[in-house]
Amino acid sequence: MLKKGDIILLLVIVLGILSAVFFGREDAVSLSNTSGIPVDNIGITAIIKKNDKVIRRINLTSLNKREVINISGVHKATIVAEKNRICFLESDCPDKICVKTGWLSQPGEIAVCLPNKIIIKLEQDKNQNVDGVVK
Amino acid sequence: MKNNRILIFLFFLIASFYLNGCSKSNESNNYVEKESFQMGTIISQKIYGSNAESSANKIIKRLNSIEENMSLNINTSTLSWINTNSGESQVFHVNDDIYNVLSAAKHFSELSQGAFDITVGPLVKEWGVFTDDPHVPTQSRINELLKLVNYKSIEFDPEKKTFRLPIKGQMIDFGAIAKGYAADEAVKICRKDGIKSAYINLGGNVYVVGNKPDNTPWKIGIQNPRAADGKYIGILRISDKTVVTSGDYERFFVKNGVRYHHIIDPRTGWPSNSDLISSTIVTDSSISADALSTATFVMGLNKSKELLKKLHGVDAIFITKDKKVYITENLRRYFDFQDESGEFTYVEKG
């Protein structure tokens, strides 16, 4: 027969395990967001960095209208984001490699404007196929 | 009394749940991701561990000092100084970085019988493949410049660490080796700092330290040489290895309907015209991988296979003009051929 003390003990065990599991998860989620910018975990996120600083994060999967981002600096660049894709539309840098790279749509893809020091990269938080591509 | 014992036991049990949860999430989520623009390219680092931030910053600093030494675009670099003074009688005392790269370069030049040659500088400059205005030189101009290209002519004293280019107009180009050296130096910093898991990409030279935090190998895609950036023809599962690819698609220009790529064959003065369109080297030294990917790309399939037989712990993936993918035997079980385009054939034998 269960005594009063046994029931309290059981409750403590169950609560303890549940809270451990729960807080464990909470921890993981908040830690993965070191930059403090909220990210949607589902789908593909485009990260735009200039001089290694994140200037924009856009969830391409949930984007429903075309977005134009103008970046000033020594050279000017225009980035266009649409549902599921993003690219350098224009840049007044000399080689235009960034524009020639075209649309990015797959996680892991990268477009770089070296003269402008701007990078766009696509990330998927879950089930990413590869960690990087050598070229 | 009995209840107390159980309570104490339970306390430890629950505490261990918390602690376990903590350490786990630290390992896989405590990471730093940095991109920097150095050595004329983009450097990406993803470093795991509690010291990740400081290691990443040390690496950036180290790469800056390598760049200041070896860049052709910085007029005050040691290398620019050496190049502008070729033909002069004076010898230069070189620092350890340049000494290390020079001795490695000499080794790979000999090994590849000149298919890799760091004195290719004047030709690279003439073609201008890395400038906004590339052009096709005349054959007579190429013949003239070929006289300056010869790694054997370098006067290099490993004891005194002095260095001289004897012919006026000679130029060293570290373009096919400096990033590999820098990748090795970056990894040295990681190892010294006790980093157990890291992915470092120096403009295409990839080095992975350890496994991923979940203890599975890193998955590296090998670029499909005829598709857009980021499309791969297969995935390599590796840990503690470097992967470097040389291909005819990285940089090229088109003139009168002809496509000219950026890897100049030091023996002909023209863009390399072997049967390969891409050569990937997998090993544990990135400087070797960098030099060998260029050397094998220039040498072609059969000669490269022979060369690799002489080397220990060096593996490769070769892609030929007729779209066949060859891979060395040791690497086969770590490679998943995944060709979305359906254009390539995987050659499992030979």
**Do the chains contact at A114 and B212, CB–CB below 8 Å?**
no
**Residue B166: predicted pLDDT:** 95
| Per-residue pLDDT tens digits for B120-178 | 999 999 999 878 789 999 999 999 999 999 999 999 898 999 999 999 999 999 999 99
Give B-chain residues touching A101 at CB under 8 angstroms.
228-229
Average pLDDT over every residue of B217-237: 91
Question: What was the ipTM of the complex prediction?
Answer: 0.74
- Identify the sign of the CA torsion A119, A120, A123, A128: negative
pLDDT band of B280, cuts 50, 70, 90: very high
By Cβ distance, the residue of B18, B21, B199 closest to A131 is B199
Say which residue the tokens 């059969």 belong to.
Answer: B302
Q: Is B198 on the interface with A (CB under 8 A)?
A: no
The CA distance from A35 to the nearest CA of chain B, in Å, is 10
**Do the chains contact at B220 and A130, CB–CB below 8 Å?**
yes
pLDDT band of A19, cuts 50, 70, 90: low
pLDDT above 90: percentage of residues in chain A = 16
**Residue B21: predicted pLDDT:** 43
**B17 has pLDDT over 60:** no
In chain A, the residue whose alpha carbon lies closest to the alpha carbon of B217 is: A131
Nearest 5°: phi and psi at B103? Answer: -70, -35
| Per-residue pLDDT tens digits for A76-104 | 889 999 999 999 999 988 888 899 889 99
Provide the angle, in degrees to the nearest 10, between the axes of the packed helices B286-299 and B178-192. Answer: 150
**A5 has pLDDT over 60:** yes
Mean pLDDT check: name the lowest of B218-232, B270-284, B296-310: B218-232
Give A-chain residues touching B29 at CB under 8 angstroms.
28, 31-32, 34
**Residue A7: predicted pLDDT:** 75
**Residue A116: predicted pLDDT:** 86
**Residue B217: predicted pLDDT:** 97
Mean pLDDT check: name the lowest of A17-31, A37-51, A73-87, B301-315: A17-31
Instruction: Quote the CA–CA distance of A47 and A63 in Å, as a whole number.
Output: 14
**Residue B7: predicted pLDDT:** 59
By Cβ distance, the residue of B35, B232, B244 closest to A49 is B35
Q: Do B223 and A108 form a contact (C-beta atoms < 8 A)?
A: no
- Joined tokens for residue B347: 């050659």
Half-sphere exposure of A35 (CA within 13 A, CB side): 14
**B180 has pLDDT over 50:** yes
pLDDT band of A127, cuts 50, 70, 90: very low
Nearest 5°: phi and psi at B287? Answer: -65, -40
| Per-residue pLDDT tens digits for B329-338 | 999 999 999 9
Instruction: Quote the CA–CA distance of B226 and B204 in Å, as a whole number.
Output: 17
Instruction: Quote the CA–CA distance of B345 and B89 in Å, as a whole number.
Output: 54
